[in-house]
Structure 1
Amino acid sequence: MDNDHYTLMFDGGSRGNPGLCGCGYAILKDDVVVWEGYKKVSDNNTNNFAEYMGIILGLELAVENNIQTLHIKGDSLLVINQLVGKWKVNSSNLKPLYIAAKSLLEKINMVTLGHVKRDKNKIADKLANKAMDE
């Protein structure tokens, strides 16, 4: 792709926590959704697992489309703070997901990660809920 700037919004949810998990992700350019996706990712796992799956699947989509400048936004303080190095990854079930996300981040030339409040993450939240509803 070109030098355009894109934004990845991601979210994950768990009904029961642990319970049924789904994630959603959308890549936007100029506030318009260019690509989006959602997936049921587990029958019995945690919200944090689902959040990581949301960012991983979104990053895979960004890498597939050769996006080189990406601003990532999500409402998971845990995922954002772990990926920027502020918080340690203590949960053994999240470590492989953290490693996968870091590996994908390295394939993108310029990345920023930022936390947004839940009400600013409605696109990805709606997709995550759609995954759990199907």
Structure 2
Amino acid sequence: MTVVAGAAVVDAVGYDNVMVAIDAHGGRVLYRERMPVPVSMWRPWERWTRETGGARANLFANPVVEVAGRKIAPLICYEQLVLWPILQSMLYRPDAIVLIGNGWWTTGGNIIAIQRASAKAWSALFGVPLVISFNT
């Protein structure tokens, strides 16, 4: 059995939003978010201004990862609303699309419903099974 969960890896200059895989052998970072929310999380100007604290964007990294012998297309939160991450992942023919996100901050809004609808549409379009997990 493998448990996949969301987490953050924090260091002195910023952080990565990640998916971790935890199994009988321990835990590991499975996926690093490619596209955090611009401005509020990902602040690319921090490199030039020597500010710290923002999320890193791993734009072209890890479009698919392996979990329990299956190739998945992971998407964290904002990535579920952006064209690039899902199209990049689909080029690698994943066995499933796996979504995670935090919706606690959207109380009374419809962002989670929009993310679910978008993911279901991509899943149907590419004929790839979908797994969704949100904290609300």
TM-score range with shorter-chain normalisation? Answer: 0.3 to 0.5
Instruction: Name whichever structure is richer in helix by fraction.
Output: 1
Q: Which has the higher contact order (CA 8 A, sep 6+)?
A: 1
Normalising by structure 1, report the TM-score. 0.34
**Larger Rg computed on CA atoms:** 2
| TM-score, normalisation: structure 2 | 0.34
